[in-house]
Amino acid sequence: MVGGDVRKLRNLVRLTMILIGASACLAASSAQAAKGVLHLKVVDSETKAPLSARMHLVNPRGNRQRIPGVPNLDDHFSFTGELHLELAPGRYTFEMETGPEYRTRSGYFELKSGDEDNTTLEMTRFVDMAADGWWSGDLFVQRGEIDIETLMLAEDLHVAVNHAWDNKQNAYEGKPVGDPLAIFGGDRAWWRLGGRDERAGGRMIFANVDAPLAVQSAKPEYPSTLSFVNELKSNARVHRAADATAWDLPLWIAQDAVDSVVIAGPELESKGGAAKPAPGSRPADRLLYRGAQGRARWAQQIYFHLLNCGIRIPPSAASGSGATSNPPGYNRVYVHLDGEFSYDAWWRELAAGRVMVTNGPMIRPFVENRLPGDVFTASAGESLEIEVALNLGTRDKIAYLEVLKNGQVEHEVRLDDLVKNQGRLPKIHFDESGWFLVRAVAEVPETYRFALTGPYYVQIGDQPRISKTSAQFFYDWVFERAAAIQLEAGDQRNEILEMHRESRDFWRDIFERANAP
């Protein structure tokens, strides 16, 4: 009897296993059948040419939908040309973008079990910056190399610096580097070996270096970022971009170690400001500069102080994609080139100040057939009256459009007046040296969305305009920074303090030469 019971039990186990296996197969088959498929194409509405795009897709449960096989980041993914979506049944909402020069598309679709549909989305371009000689770039992207070209196409980005190293890691450690420059599509290029040093003195971005810098072993205060700058002196191709709010900005400026100032950095995010400021950044007055908009205005104010000291240096931009949730090129700098696109020419003209920084509005300035970075001159005792005009394209409603002179609003222009005057703004008058630029700010409460042309300079007579207030601003900054240095007494502390003493002397000299309030 016992043996018979055992045989019955074994047969029962086999039957149970067969039923479980059959149930699993049926469940898998049912799950597969439950899905629907959408074949999605994205094209230009006018040319019908295929486009790459970034998509924000929300599933029926209200959650972001990740898609395998394409670059995903935070609440979005990017793809080239055509995408096959295999999804559970339900209603999906989406937002589609293909760079800031195209209108955003949004909508929804529904999939039923077993559906297989084909959809083509047309994207409408409202401005073509490259056609007018303006080429976009981003100085800080940190994404997988295999994805960079897809991401650049999806954001209509022409130049990118991919960061392979920083203070925590070096992605190329022990690996061959090869050619750091990758060019594709005829007018797009990216650098594999970008990186940054971001410590107690703030963030400095290094573009176009031939090998990663050994910043991983650096302590918060020692060695100075300037020691790494000095390693690169023989490489004329290198571009050094400093955060406007970096504590060591006055030191770096005094040592001629900065090629551009980042006024739209990774902390300026598409969905609002980052919870924390940039590493090593000088904090703003919380009453005067509140929230994400306040931090962005603080960076601009610091930059304006530099210009008011007679220092001619261009602004730049960095999205920090990968280190933040920003897509590549969310914060971007457009550089004007005469003739065809060239990677080296792009950097040369950036350094010359032929720029427009934006994370939204598109400004193409026309100032008496001159570009940002140009200098208007007159003899001592003469005056200048300069006619300013521009083309402005935008996806967001513009809150205000301004002409700034020496850091102050000279003219605020209503958009209907801009249209009525065919893009011409009121003339700007100069009796003495100075500078001016144009700024547009969009009405987007959760973040600061703006465009800013590079400055135009005015030189009347032999003397540049130097503001005593702005020189004092940086002179005081040097003392505040030196007092906060956290190094024990010894050679290292003495070395760092000596650099700041030299910086103090630099700004004191500028203060003593000041010729304006």
3-state SS record for 430-496: ECCCEEEEEEEEECCCCCCCEEEECCEEEEECCCCCCEHHHHHHHHHHHHHHHHCCCCCCCHHHHHH
User: 81: pLDDT confidence band, cut at 50, 70 and 90?
Assistant: confident
Question: What six digits make up the tokens of 79?
Answer: 């793809």
Q: Rounded mean pLDDT of the chain? A: 92
Q: Among 10-14, 99-103, 365-369, 394-398, which stretch is predicted with the lowest mean pLDDT?
A: 10-14
pLDDT at 68 over 50: yes
Q: How far apart are CA 54 and CA 50, in angstroms?
A: 13
Q: What is the mean pLDDT of residues 142-154?
A: 98
| pLDDT, greater one: 54 or 2 | 54
pLDDT at 276 over 90: no
Contact between 173 and 201 (Cβ < 8 Å): no
pLDDT for residue 136: 98
Contact between 137 and 160 (Cβ < 8 Å): yes
pLDDT at 133 over 70: yes
| pLDDT, greater one: 79 or 9 | 79
Q: How far apart are CA 57 and CA 242, in angstroms?
A: 35
pLDDT at 238 over 60: yes
Q: What is the CATH number of domain 34-123?
A: 2.60.40.2190
Q: How far apart are CA 274 and CA 279, in angstroms?
A: 12
CATH classification number, 127-359, choose in 3.30.1310.10, 3.90.1200.10, 3.30.360.10, 3.20.20.140: 3.20.20.140
| pLDDT, greater one: 422 or 342 | 342
Please, which residues have CB within 8 angstroms of residue 193's CB and are 6 or more apart in sequence? 164, 165, 172, 177, 180, 209, 210, 211, 212
pLDDT for residue 275: 58
Contact between 440 and 420 (Cβ < 8 Å): no
pLDDT for residue 438: 98
User: 271: pLDDT confidence band, cut at 50, 70 and 90?
Assistant: confident
* Domain over 361-465 is classified CATH 2.60.40.10: yes
| pLDDT, greater one: 286 or 38 | 38
